[in-house]
Structure 1
Amino acid sequence: MLTAAFVAAVLLSFLLKLWLSSRQMRHVARHRGAVPGPFAGTVSLPAHQKAADYTIARGRFGTLHLAWDTALLIGWTLLGGLDLLNQWALAWRPELGDMGYQLGLLTAFALIGGVLDLPWSLYNTFRLEERFGFNRTTLKLFVVDGLKGLAVGALLGLPIAALILWLMARAGSLWWLWAWGAWMGFNLLMLVLYPTVIAPLFNKFQPLEDAALRDRVQRLMQRCGFAAKGLFVMDGSRRSAHGNAYFTGLGAAKRVVFFDTLLERLDPPEVEAVLAHELGHFKRRHVLKRLVLMFALSLAGFALLGWLSAQTAFYLGLGVRPSLDAPNDALALLLLMLALPPFTFFLTPLMSFWSRKHEFEADAYACAQASGADLSNALLKLHEDNAGTLTPDPVFARFYYSHPPASERLAAIAALSMPTARAGMQA
């Protein structure tokens, strides 16, 4: 029963992803020849065509990667890959003990997965992104980032994994509730530590030196009643030409971070408008809502794991032989991590819709606190710099897009600005 449901979910999700991707590529290719009417005066034809070519290239790459990931999923589960790895790890159990064996299994799985994905990451960085002029990462920096990522993953991941495994073995039938609490505490701790401890391992963060821009940003935050620990510029140009701005941290540890590529491209009023949009996410409690959703979904996930881990059919149905004299907790964690995504994929359009709703609300807040025209100009520049297509397939966009398509977003901003303009004429 479980095997049939898993195969059906994998097959249906694969076919749906393939269909959506092909729709997107065909739609973008059909509209490559001309800039859409609403953008005819602001976006050049070469920029529009570059965005189309980039979208199609990423779609083709994504299709190949999808086929590889699907084959790998079947290989790990029904074809016995995880079972083989588990039998190998079990051979070390007499020397390592139960906890050492289970952490070894998790580590081996993560390392093998990283090695198998490495060619795709290399191609994406040094061929695809390079081809369209976005990559600024050197091979040395790529390797150093990878080694740092491994070290940070081990230092942070192994302790929380050990704690969850210990709770699974020692905390009784409600272990999943205690494990969920530990996992949530870990995530909240990471929100506090990430800005000051983890992120600086990979990027340099310098205080914002532009006095005029700093004053403008600080006045905006005062108007919005938002306090941050600092304004920083990140050297995003070391790795990519893409630009962005974001908030990071929790509580008193919040920081405002600008990519240096963003500051190079946008004028100060446009930077203010982009920041006002990000502030809108906080003022409309989007960040809190997403945290609550993460809490709820992770609780459901741990509860599901608590039930499935005690079912022999869970293991056998996914191609793994559970141990009779050794703990199967790490095995259950890996199996759920592998098996759950094909089922939860079908929730993607709901999550995308919710996210787009938040983006519209944040835009509305930005228009009230800054200039809608500046926000529109900034979005157009970022769209062009990031080679975002102006002509996405509507079905693909409804399913996947966490941000509204540019045409819808700019139309909504223009509509918000109209009452202000009419009020000005009446005065």
Structure 2
Amino acid sequence: MLDLLAATSDGFDVASATRAYLDTLQGPARAQSDAYFEGGYWLPLWGTAIGVLVDWLFLRFRIAHALRAFGERVSKRAWIVTAITAFFYTLIGTLVTLPWTIYTGYAREKRYDLLDQTFGAWAGEQAIGIAMALVLMPLAVVAIYALIRRAPRSWWLWSTGVIGLFMLFAMVLGPVFIAPLFNEYTELEDGALRDRIEAVAAQYEIPAEHIYVFDQSKQHKRISANVSGLGPTIRISLNDNLLERTSEEEILAVMGHEMGHYKLHHTWWIVGILLSLFALGLFVTSRVAPALIRRYGERWGVRDMGDPASLPVLAICLGIWMFLMTPATNSLIRWAESKADAFGLDAAREPDGFAKVAMRLSEYRKIEPGPLEEFVFFDHPSGATRVRMAMQWKADNVENPQVVVPEEGYLDAK
């Protein structure tokens, strides 16, 4: 596929070069992309509202009280009672919210032609996720309630450490034991592409002993890649959609971006800041939840904060807090993504490949939001922002740059 090259009469113009790319997304495709992404603005609000409603039902009808009472009939050990309560709380909550999960994860994705799985295949993966939650959630809750009982005033701080340990566990073991439950990972074949990826990685001393391809095309058509793991589990992974739907210059642009996350230590920055937000949320919860229990605890059948029947109270407080922090978390992730974009442009030196990838991501991301819209709702830079960054890099770093006018329909060519 060839691009049409056109040099502007006054030299390279960043705005014109950017517009040449943005104008390739028009008509029904642009309308569908905008509609899908704008509809997603409401999902966190409704998801939080549904979660709060379900937790309120646990309290209003004394379901959490009944779960704790059942646990006490099984065992007198506090940690076993807590584990039983947390297990059934997770199971019942998951089943009650299943219609919402089906709508957001399956029906809505199918409606916009962004999911290739049958309902059975999708449900099978959801079942794996639920099974893991039924193991990990009780473990985390047992640890947190043990801290509540032992350190009633500072439990929120120690619990932040528990959450951090679970995050670390997922980072180390996720690529090796969790990701393969959903996709098959195979080594990228030797050849020119692998050599170029390894060369970029070597330039920045990024481990590239393992470069994997995973079969995400069985789930959807979205392009994706990542550098994941810690220590001996570090690996570079790209999905088969990236290999099959894009050119080599686009692949290198994506891999440069992902290596930027690794080289700039974004995992640690994001984990650290997210833990700080969790710490603040847990601190607020440690002050608000006891007041709610003092006022309504008898009605709900909740004795005190150390009673595992108070789990829905903690979930309501923390859920609302994290929803209110959504713009902050979006801005954090968007900042990291922008830094990785800049690194990737320097590393791969493929500005037009980067611009093409940004346009391909417009399949499910609004391409040109307003500034406030991008600040509040986007956890990645918008396509327009990314294309503009690539064209500015091109103007600053490429000798005799030219405006690239992509052929019509190139977004659908692969």
Could you tell me the TM-score, scaled by structure 1's length?
A: 0.78
User: Residue 231 of structure 1 contacts residue 256 of structure 1 at CA under 8 Å; is this kept in 2?
Assistant: yes
Task: For residue 321 of structure 1, report the CA deviation from its aligned partner.
Answer: 3.4
Amino acid at match of 1:263: L
Pick from 316, 336, 339 the counterpart of residue 361 of structure 1: 339
- Unaligned 5+ segments in structure 1 are 1-35
The residue that corresponds to 2:6 in the other structure is none
The residue that corresponds to 1:196 in the other structure is 176
User: Residue 367 of structure 2 contacts residue 383 of structure 2 at CA under 8 Å; is this kept in 1?
Assistant: yes
The residue that corresponds to 2:62 in the other structure is 84
User: Residue 50 of structure 1 contacts residue 387 of structure 1 at CA under 8 Å; is this kept in 2?
Assistant: no
SS at match of 2:227: strand
User: Residue 224 of structure 2 contacts residue 238 of structure 2 at CA under 8 Å; is this kept in 1?
Assistant: yes
Matched, 1:130 2:110: yes
User: Residue 305 of structure 1 contacts residue 333 of structure 1 at CA under 8 Å; is this kept in 2?
Assistant: no
Within 2, Cα distance between the matches of 1:142 and 1:301? 33
User: Residue 80 of structure 1 contacts residue 319 of structure 1 at CA under 8 Å; is this kept in 2?
Assistant: no
User: Residue 270 of structure 1 contacts residue 378 of structure 1 at CA under 8 Å; is this kept in 2?
Assistant: yes
CA deviation vs aligned residue, 1:171-215 (integer Å, no higher than 9, x gap): 565444443333322221221111111111121111112522111
The residue that corresponds to 2:141 in the other structure is 161
Task: For residue 251 of structure 1, report the CA deviation from its aligned partner.
Answer: 2.6
Question: 1:51–1:124: structure 2 CA closer, same or farther, 3 Å change rule?
Answer: farther
Question: 1:329–1:256: structure 2 CA closer, same or farther, 3 Å change rule?
Answer: farther
Task: For residue 400 of structure 1, report the CA deviation from its aligned partner.
Answer: 1.3
Amino acid at match of 1:246: N
Larger helix fraction of residues: 1
Within 2, Cα distance between the matches of 1:328 and 1:276? 48
SS at match of 1:357: helix
Task: For residue 339 of structure 1, report the CA deviation from its aligned partner.
Answer: 2.1
Question: 1:424–1:72: structure 2 CA closer, same or farther, 3 Å change rule?
Answer: closer
Task: For residue 368 of structure 1, report the CA deviation from its aligned partner.
Answer: 1.5
The residue that corresponds to 2:398 in the other structure is 421
User: Residue 211 of structure 2 contacts residue 236 of structure 2 at CA under 8 Å; is this kept in 1?
Assistant: yes
Matched, 1:374 2:343: no
User: Residue 277 of structure 1 contacts residue 362 of structure 1 at CA under 8 Å; is this kept in 2?
Assistant: yes
Pick from 313, 319, 338 the counterpart of residue 316 of structure 2: 338
Task: For residue 104 of structure 1, report the CA deviation from its aligned partner.
Answer: 2.8
Pick from 241, 252, 262 the counterpart of residue 282 of structure 1: 262
Pick from 244, 248, 252 the counterpart of residue 232 of structure 2: 252
Question: 1:109–1:155: structure 2 CA closer, same or farther, 3 Å change rule?
Answer: closer
CA deviation vs aligned residue, 1:390-413 (integer Å, no higher than 9, x gap): 233443222111222222221122
Within 2, Cα distance between the matches of 1:172 and 1:54? 49
Within 1, Cα distance between the matches of 2:322 and 2:47? 19
Amino acid at match of 1:166: A
**Matched pairs, number:** 384
The residue that corresponds to 2:119 in the other structure is 139
Pick from 178, 191, 195 the counterpart of residue 211 of structure 1: 191
The residue that corresponds to 2:372 in the other structure is 395
The residue that corresponds to 2:34 in the other structure is 55
Question: 1:337–1:58: structure 2 CA closer, same or farther, 3 Å change rule?
Answer: same
Pick from 80, 91, 106 the counterpart of residue 86 of structure 2: 106
The residue that corresponds to 1:6 in the other structure is none
The residue that corresponds to 1:33 in the other structure is none
Amino acid at match of 1:356: R
Report the identity percentage: 24
User: Residue 137 of structure 1 contacts residue 238 of structure 1 at CA under 8 Å; is this kept in 2?
Assistant: yes
The residue that corresponds to 2:411 in the other structure is none
The residue that corresponds to 1:24 in the other structure is none
Within 1, Cα distance between the matches of 2:152 and 2:23? 62
Within 2, Cα distance between the matches of 1:319 and 1:397? 45
Task: For residue 223 of structure 1, report the CA deviation from its aligned partner.
Answer: 0.6
Pick from 387, 404, 412 the counterpart of residue 389 of structure 2: 412
SS at match of 1:404: coil
Could you tell me the TM-score, scaled by structure 2's length?
A: 0.80
SS at match of 1:91: helix
- Deviating more after overlay: 398-407 vs 62-71: 62-71
User: Residue 192 of structure 1 contacts residue 253 of structure 1 at CA under 8 Å; is this kept in 2?
Assistant: yes
Question: 1:272–1:158: structure 2 CA closer, same or farther, 3 Å change rule?
Answer: same
- Deviating more after overlay: 395-404 vs 187-196: 395-404
- Deviating more after overlay: 201-210 vs 212-221: 201-210
